[in-house]
Amino acid sequence: MSVPLRPPVPLLAALFLALALLLTGCTSGPAPAKAPVGAPGQGAAGPESDAASVRRASPEPEPSPAEIPGLGPETRAEIPEEARQAFVVTGEGEDANRSSAVLYAREDPAEGWVAVAGPWDAHNGMKGWTDHHVAGDLRSPTGVYTLTDAGGRLPDPGALLPYDEHPRFAVDGVGFFGEPLEGSFDYVVAINYNRTEGVTPLDRTRPLGLERGGGIWIHVDHGGPTQGCVSIPENRMEELLRTLDPAMNPVIVMGDAESLGR
């Protein structure tokens, strides 16, 4: 009797493997898990994205010190670094004689400039403003000027700047619109345009020459435009005199709005 032949072992293993593939399909294991949306490295804009993580880790930038509103880079550059008080007089227009005044201070350099008084109504030269003042042009000189000296016909109201009380500050007559000028120089602060610092406002020394004018002051308003000075109400003059501090190196920043914005 003949004995039936058995397939070799390797062939049987191959047959069983083929049968298993037919029964289970083409998959040989579980599908890979999808990366979660917004996972690092996936480029998705989710709440846990790389960009958001970087933003959270980065420190907030320090705020810049406050600047004086309305002043452009050229005007700001004229203000001395040591100045910590600025009396800003902004004209309504190049040819206008009405303006507004605000006193700023920067006691904390990190915070910058802060308004401490004003706005106050003010007058300036009858014909407005100029960047090249000459005697008799009836315009106020634009620019940034130091304030170092004060005085007036009336007794010192508590000024911090050196104060010269003198009867020569008396004035009479009428202004451009017929308003009385009496009392206009009861209180004054000299604007250091074409003058020597550290002397009475009555000093008539003119370093730029007489033709460039002089005697430009902040003084008591008489209800109308000036020859070239800046004027504010009497009670505001008293307040200004008691506030301007030589230790803070005060300046006046003056001109029409367009000029100051440059």
Catalytic residues: 219, 229
Contact 72, 237 (CB under 8 A): no
Contact 108, 140 (CB under 8 A): no
Radius of gyration for the alpha carbons in the chain, expressed in angstroms and rounded: 40
Euclidean distance between CA atoms 37 and 44, whole angstroms: 6
Euclidean distance between CA atoms 85 and 145, whole angstroms: 12
Euclidean distance between CA atoms 172 and 47, whole angstroms: 76
- Torsion, Cα 223 225 228 231, to 10 degrees, reads 30
CA within 13 Å, CB half, 95: 0
